[in-house]
Amino acid sequence: MPDLQKTLGYRYLHDTKFTRKNIREKERPAIAPAPAFKDYPGAEKIDLPKNPQKPAADLWQLLQQRRSLRNFSGSPMSLDDLALLLWACQGITARAGAYLLRTAPSAGALYPIETYVAADRIEGLAPGLFHLNVGTFQLERLTDKPAGALVAQAALDQSFIGQAAAVFVWSAVLRRNMAKYGQRGLRYICMDAGHICQNLQLAAEALGRRSCPVAAIYDDELGDLLGLDGVEESAIYLAPVG
């Protein structure tokens, strides 16, 4: 293992620093942008409840109680609760000009993170892998077989993931962010994903559910499961909720 200063990680942070000098000489990155939203036009669409009953919750209590927990009861989750969790991740909350702002902040309001969910134990929903259409707040069905155990395998065989009611998986559409921020954008993409996961954990806590962030993944295995090419869009993070 090279010493810290020779690592790729250190060099990346070093080489993407802003300084008072380089900020003036900054060139526009030669990276074409990608559409702001993704959808699967041919997929079966499932309308998510738009106004489900929200349990009363005290933010300070939630912050105190939030924990990463890995033992799930295996009990099913209602579609209402799934909708609340998805809304906490990426729900649209306001419009500012052309931008549709969301529950979690995003550098430049570019929202490079897509949300998928392996929903095996949701009342009234046949198991499968889904994509969240953020604009219409619908699930788009990608598969019709239970997917939690497959996600667990692709996450270094962390088998507890397969016991969740739903596993939220996040991918990064690099161009959305990097067309504006270039190399430095990768910092922001990871931060965006972190904000989303924190929202999910707090919302899960408010619903009396357990959750755990997971970044130990076989990246391409997880991407393949979602049908991602690993270039334009890569799986980066996930969280089971049970």
Ligand X SMILES: Cc1cc2nc3c(=O)[nH]c(=O)nc-3n(C[C@H](O)[C@H](O)[C@H](O)COP(=O)(O)O)c2cc1C
Number of residues that bind ligand X (CB under 6 A): 9
Task: Output the smallest distance, CB 203 to ligand X, in A.
Answer: 15
Regarding 212 and contact with ligand X (CB under 6 A), the answer is yes
**Should residue 159 be labelled a site residue for ligand X when binding is judged by CB under 6 A?**
no
b/e 80-94 (16+ beta carbons within 10 angstroms → b): bbbbbbbbbbbbeee
Q: Is the CB of 147 or the CB of 161 nearer to ligand X?
A: 161
Indicate the length of the chain as a whole number. Answer: 242
> Is 9 among the residues that bind ligand X (CB under 6 A)?
no
State the minimum distance, in angstroms, from the CB of residue 25 to ligand X: 33
Q: Does 158 bind ligand X (CB under 6 A)?
A: yes
Query: Mask: binding to ligand X, 67-96, rule CB under 6 A, as x and -?
Result: xx-x--------------------------
Contact 161, 152 (CB under 8 A): yes
Least distance from ligand X to the Cβ atom of residue 197, Å: 7
Residue bearing tokens 């052309």: 98
Using rule CB under 6 A, residue 171 touches ligand X: no
Residue with tokens 């259409």, as numbered in its chain: 133
The backbone region for 157, taken as left when phi is positive above 0, alpha when psi lies in -120 to 50, beta otherwise, is left
Token representation of residue 181: 């921020």
Nearest residue to 148 via CA among 130, 161, 134: 161
Euclidean distance between CA atoms 192 and 176, whole angstroms: 12
Stretch of residues binding ligand X (CB under 6 A), selected from 50-58, 120-128, 131-139, 213-221: 213-221
**Looking at beta carbons only, is 54 or 67 nearer to ligand X?**
67
216 binds ligand X (CB under 6 A): yes
Stretch that binds ligand X, among 41-49, 66-74, 145-153, 176-184 (CB under 6 A): 66-74
For residues 95-110, one letter each, b for 16 or more C-beta atoms within 10 angstroms of the residue's C-beta and e for the rest, the string is eeeeebebbbebbeeb
Closest approach of ligand X to the CB of residue 215, in Å? 3
Interacting residues with ligand X (CB under 6 A): 67-68, 70, 158, 212-216
